[in-house]
Amino acid sequence: MESNSFFFDPSASQHGNMFFLGNLNPVVQGGARSMMMMNMEETSKRRPFFSSPEDLYDEEYYDDQLPEKKRRLTTEQVHLLEKSFETENKLEPERKTQLAKKLGLQPRQVAVWFQNRRARWKTKQLERDYDLLKSTYDHLLSNYDSIVKDNDKLRSEVTSLTQKLQGKEEETTAKEPPGQVPDSNLLDPVYINPAAIKTEDRLSSGSVGSAVLDEDAPQLLDSCDSYFPSIVPIHSQQDDSDHDRTCFSDVFVPTTSPSHHHGESLGLWGWP
């Protein structure tokens, strides 16, 4: 930064005629009380914000000065603070002092800036996490809807095929003696042995049809196998081994904690 002098500019604010007496820095407050009656013109002439970093550490300096208005940091100051925050979002005492000197601020101001910056980062992170969860949820919901439709379609197919089958059975029992499977049926590609349906169905591995024919069968969601191959899987950190699986329990797991921000491991809120 080229200069460490920040001059008070009363024209910069519509509240320019008011002294700020609320959140004064402790170090400034003595001056605030003594100079309350001074008008704005006198104020603006007399008082640079901080004339140099050295002045910041000179307490007597403030005793003779005017009350300070709360003011924003310059873009250069903010830029440097942002860069420093990117490197590390926590502030060790040494770095705080160095930054304060470099920026012409009080160490307390630097600490406060970092504190507020962390709070802003956390808010943004929560927003990002919310967006991610919502899009995942929407995706799951649309997949669920299409599966329900497929399910209905298959269910009606099964019903109609079962009816056909029954018709055929009745037809053959009228011709053949009871208990015998006609040889012609063994060669008929349409023929399905009714006794075999459930067994085969239980052996099937995850097709939608299994749930249709046998509603007592274990639900695939419980076993965490993928119903939704088109969804980008979101894995919990504890289980990286099953790369191509998705399930509801995996969806609601925090995934976006930037590695360089050591401070916050933002677990997501519990899902109702």
Partner DNA sequence: TTGTGTTTTATTGCCTCC
Partner DNA sequence: GGAGGCAATAAAACACAA
- Out of 5, 116, 166, 236, name the contact with DNA by CB under 7 A: 116
Residue type (1 letter), 187 = L
Six-digit token pair at 125? 């992170």
- Residue 180, interface with DNA (CB under 7 A)? no
Q: Which stretch binds DNA (CB under 7 A): 58-66, 115-123, 197-205, 230-238?
A: 115-123
- Out of 101, 102, 122, 155, name the contact with DNA by CB under 7 A: 122
Q: Which stretch binds DNA (CB under 7 A): 118-126, 171-179, 222-230, 235-243?
A: 118-126
Give the distance from CA 67 to its chain's centroid.
43
Site map for DNA, 49-88, x if CB under 7 A?
Answer: --------------------xxxxx----x----------
Segment 246-265, which members bind DNA (CB under 7 A)? 263-264
Report how far residue 206's alpha carbon sits from residue 242's, in angstroms, rounded to the nearest whole number.
Answer: 17
> Measured from the CB atom, is 22 or 179 closer to DNA?
22
> Measured from the CB atom, is 18 or 221 closer to DNA?
18
> Measured from the CB atom, is 6 or 252 closer to DNA?
6
Least spacing, CB of residue 20 vs DNA, in Å: 4
Q: How many residues bind DNA (CB under 7 A)?
A: 35
Segment 17-36, which members bind DNA (CB under 7 A)? 18, 20-26
Distances (CA, A) of 29 to 55, 94, 179: 16, 26, 104
- Out of 46, 79, 108, 198, name the contact with DNA by CB under 7 A: 108
Report how far residue 169's alpha carbon sits from residue 181's, in angstroms, rounded to the nearest whole number.
Answer: 10
Nearest to 38 by CA among 23, 22, 24, 18: 18
Per residue in 15-44, is it b (16+ CB within 10 Å) or e — as a string? eeeebeeeebeebbebbbeebeeeeeeebe
> Measured from the CB atom, is 120 or 164 closer to DNA?
120
Q: Which stretch binds DNA (CB under 7 A): 57-65, 105-113, 162-170, 206-214?
A: 105-113
- CA triple 126-257-121, angle to 5 deg: 45
Report how far residue 6's alpha carbon sits from residue 10's, in angstroms, rounded to the nearest whole number.
Answer: 13
Residues 6+ apart with CB under 8 A from 36: 19, 21, 67
> Measured from the CB atom, is 121 or 191 closer to DNA?
121
- Residue 12, interface with DNA (CB under 7 A)? yes
Six-digit token pair at 78? 């903010």
Distances (CA, A) of 240 to 89, 206, 221: 28, 22, 19
What residues make contact with DNA under the rule CB under 7 A? 12-16, 18, 20-26, 69-73, 78, 90-91, 93, 108-109, 111-113, 115-116, 118-120, 122, 263-264
